[in-house]
Chain A
């Protein structure tokens, strides 16, 4: 059993968990929901084991480093944080429908890592630019932020569905939490995500200053993280003004998460980008 196999297994388990949450929501089967939670817990155990095994394997290869150094490893960690944050929310608010909107995101992230032919799952040695203690702090805080904002994205979609059907009965929506609860939960997740996004940008800036001599260089990745930060900062302030509760905040949260995704993947598509390893 190696880490790649373990993480492929995790992909399958997360896929199953996402499916079970959706079944439990659509067919209103409490028992299936409990099974979904159990599956998620098994998935997080496999995911954790996979990350630890990969860490150990990198030491066995003589190039030991934390498994947070490339796209594959970051995606694996991304889905790990999404599931952890979701499970905490599920426990605290005792609601499993959110799982139908969060677990698919965790599944997609790890499935993209495992199945995309463009993403190598080989353990590679660290390039000089990444050899720093800031690597772990920077990547972990960024992805905690991203994961919380991903869950907020799922909750915002739920809010928009629920809010659109306030009158009459809807088979699928009547067991959703009340709009006010979703709005509050969305806000909680965004505050948590925004804090960690800020810490992620800050650790990145401090690291950049120790590696390249400037804490801010208007690099496309930096700019997009700042754009994301601006959007969520605007959202947090918009919420304080009249008429900007609920629906508009949910839209902003969705736009904000699009910016997160673009910061994560899209920046590679932009022209004139320097890659971190370039000499």
Chain B
């Protein structure tokens, strides 16, 4: 008995629309937090930004990943329960109205404050013949009943639109359920693949985890094209999927046109340049003017010309610094002469004669280099998408039905008045009462006209 008591208590608690309002507003207010405090950053950043005390409090409430925190999920769960309980609680009463056509009661319509009345020169019996098909056409459902003073025509339509609100609620359940499926069985990862290379391992977002795909992804080619203005126009990766050593699928992907294979989606997300691998160098003998061109690999020692010693390119910076100034793309090399100690040589790409400053016998400069792109791919799996999309469709349909269709009932009360008749039109609607009043006016006008012309 105690159990039943608590069940009834909670049922009552969850079947309240006030609770819905409170939950929706709580979700709205708390959601703001995560837009003010950046989410899922490194804890060191937070510690520096907020100090020990605030950091401790924020951490306790999972503020740094608040949309996945226990309390935010709890609010969503409460909302889901609230929606389901409210719907189950109210559905039987609604279904009663929808399933069977209303019992019309003329006195209910006569009590309405807003009615339209016209007097026409025909008998009720004649009018019925004219009005019945008209009401049947406008409302779909039509019924004629005798009253104490004459006869009346009832029309009804859109009773099923009362179900709209349940479909909206159902759609929210679909969305939450689809989201849950995605968070349990799906993942969101990323991987960088240099041109010409392949991999089957990806990194999972916001986690120190690797994930192994059932296939390898090879990046055959990457291209970025630009508009004349210099802004990027297209990022394109040519990918080949390799399963058990065999290529199974080849496709170019661009932003907004991903590759999908066996439930895994591969998206163009970013790109970058690998550090240069091959460099073209020039050694110039200052005395003789003799120039030596060499193509070398970064990080590999080679013999400098005229047997002066060994040379190695050992560093590359996108923006190198010299005496505090930015000198752009810069390589660094080390020259180890046969005698003497190694010398560091700075080789900025932008300034080919930079090495003259060293005042040595040879001037070294970089003439060209080659480097490869890598493509940044976002790789996701989400088996819940179909459920969520179903929710989307149901929600749009449900909102439309709920907001713009209504259950309308109209009563044409025809009262014999000598040889003529008084025709009183009144109507009720479960929503948009102003609209219904307008409609009643319009119907009344039409009825008056029909009585004259028919």
Known A-B contacts A213-B378, A218-B34, A230-B28; the reply to A181 vs B434 at CB < 8 A is yes
Residues of B within 8 A of A194 (CB): 399, 403
Residues of B within 8 A of A212 (CB): 267, 269, 378
Q: Does B5 contact A (CB under 8 A)?
A: no
Q: Does B227 contact A (CB under 8 A)?
A: yes
Q: Are B396 and A211 in contact (CB under 8 A)?
A: no
Known A-B contacts A127-B231, A131-B255, A195-B400; the reply to A209 vs B24 at CB < 8 A is no
Residues of A within 8 A of B256 (CB): 128-129, 131-132, 210-211
Contact with B along A163-195 (1 / 0, CB 8 A): 000000000000000000100110010011011
Residues of B within 8 A of A240 (CB): 17
Q: Are A128 and B67 in contact (CB under 8 A)?
A: no
A198 vs B39: C-alpha distance when bound (angstroms): 25
Q: Does A112 contact B (CB under 8 A)?
A: no
Q: Does B233 contact A (CB under 8 A)?
A: yes
**Which residue on chain A has the smallest CB distance to residue B68?**
A218
Q: Does A272 contact B (CB under 8 A)?
A: yes
- Cβ of A129 to closest chain B Cβ, rounded Å: 5
Q: Are B379 and A213 in contact (CB under 8 A)?
A: yes
Contact with B along A57-91 (1 / 0, CB 8 A): 00000010000000000000000000000000000
Q: Are B28 and A272 in contact (CB under 8 A)?
A: no
Residues of A within 8 A of B420 (CB): none
**Which residue on chain A has the smallest CB distance to residue B399?**
A195
Q: Which residues of A, 243-275, contact B by the 8 Å Cβ criterion?
A: 244, 259, 267, 270-272
Q: Does A215 contact B (CB under 8 A)?
A: yes
Q: Are A226 and B231 in contact (CB under 8 A)?
A: no
Q: Are A230 and B396 in contact (CB under 8 A)?
A: no
Contact with B along A124-140 (1 / 0, CB 8 A): 11011101100000000
Q: Does B432 contact A (CB under 8 A)?
A: yes
- Cβ of A225 to closest chain B Cβ, rounded Å: 10
| Interface size range on B against A | 35 or more
Q: Are B399 and A223 in contact (CB under 8 A)?
A: no
Known A-B contacts A125-B227, A194-B403, A212-B269; the reply to A220 vs B35 at CB < 8 A is yes
**Which residue on chain B has the smallest CB distance to residue A135?**
B256
Quick check: which of B50-58, B126-134, B149-157, B382-390 contacts chain A, the rest being far away? B382-390
Q: Does A55 contact B (CB under 8 A)?
A: no
Q: Are B380 and A191 in contact (CB under 8 A)?
A: no
Q: Does B112 contact A (CB under 8 A)?
A: no
Residues of B within 8 A of A132 (CB): 256
| Interface size range on A against B | 35 or more
Contact with A along B206-240 (1 / 0, CB 8 A): 00000000000000000000010101111100000
Q: Does B411 contact A (CB under 8 A)?
A: no
Residues of A within 8 A of B382 (CB): 213-215
Q: Are A237 and B24 in contact (CB under 8 A)?
A: yes
- Cβ of A24 to closest chain B Cβ, rounded Å: 24
B255's partner among A191, A211, A230, A244 (CB-CB below 8 A) is A211
Q: Does B265 contact A (CB under 8 A)?
A: yes
A210 vs B259: C-alpha distance when bound (angstroms): 10
Residues of A within 8 A of B385 (CB): 209, 215
Q: Does A241 contact B (CB under 8 A)?
A: yes
Residues of A within 8 A of B254 (CB): 128, 131
A259 vs B229: C-alpha distance when bound (angstroms): 35
Q: Are A223 and B35 in contact (CB under 8 A)?
A: yes
Residues of B within 8 A of A198 (CB): 395-396, 399
**Which residue on chain A has the smallest CB distance to residue B35?**
A220
Q: Are A271 and B399 in contact (CB under 8 A)?
A: no
Q: Does B138 contact A (CB under 8 A)?
A: no
Q: Are B34 and A195 in contact (CB under 8 A)?
A: no
Known A-B contacts A127-B232, A131-B256; the reply to A214 vs B17 at CB < 8 A is no
Counting chain A CB atoms within 10 Å of each CB, the highest count among B254, B256, B399 belongs to B256
Q: Are B227 and A63 in contact (CB under 8 A)?
A: yes
Residues of B within 8 A of A195 (CB): 396, 399-400, 403
Q: Are B25 and A223 in contact (CB under 8 A)?
A: no
A184's partner among B28, B269, B433 (CB-CB below 8 A) is B433
Known A-B contacts A198-B395, A215-B385; the reply to A223 vs B31 at CB < 8 A is yes
Q: Does B36 contact A (CB under 8 A)?
A: yes
A234 vs B400: C-alpha distance when bound (angstroms): 18
Q: Are B231 and A223 in contact (CB under 8 A)?
A: no
- Cβ of A132 to closest chain B Cβ, rounded Å: 4
Quick check: which of A13-21, A30-38, A46-54, A199-207 contacts chain B, the rest being far away? A199-207
A244 vs B232: C-alpha distance when bound (angstroms): 52
- Cβ of A276 to closest chain B Cβ, rounded Å: 10
8 nearest A-B pairs in the assembled complex, by CB-CB distance? A272-B38, A213-B380, A234-B24, A230-B28, A191-B403, A128-B255, A132-B256, A220-B35
16 A-B pairs (CB sep. < 8 Å):
A128-B268, A184-B432, A205-B392, A210-B257, A213-B265, A213-B267, A213-B382, A218-B39, A224-B35, A230-B24, A231-B28, A233-B24, A234-B28, A270-B35, A272-B38, A272-B39
Residues of A participating in the B interface, judged by any CB pair closer than 8 Å: 63, 124-125, 127-129, 131-132, 181, 184-185, 188, 191-192, 194-195, 198-199, 202, 205-206, 209-216, 218, 220, 223-224, 226-227, 230-231, 233-234, 237-238, 240-241, 244, 259, 267, 270-272, 277, 279
Other than A199-B396, A209-B385, A230-B27, give 20 A-B pairs with Cβ distance below 8 A.
Answer: A125-B233, A127-B231, A128-B268, A195-B396, A198-B396, A202-B392, A202-B395, A206-B389, A210-B258, A211-B258, A218-B39, A220-B35, A223-B31, A227-B28, A230-B28, A240-B17, A270-B35, A270-B36, A271-B36, A279-B271
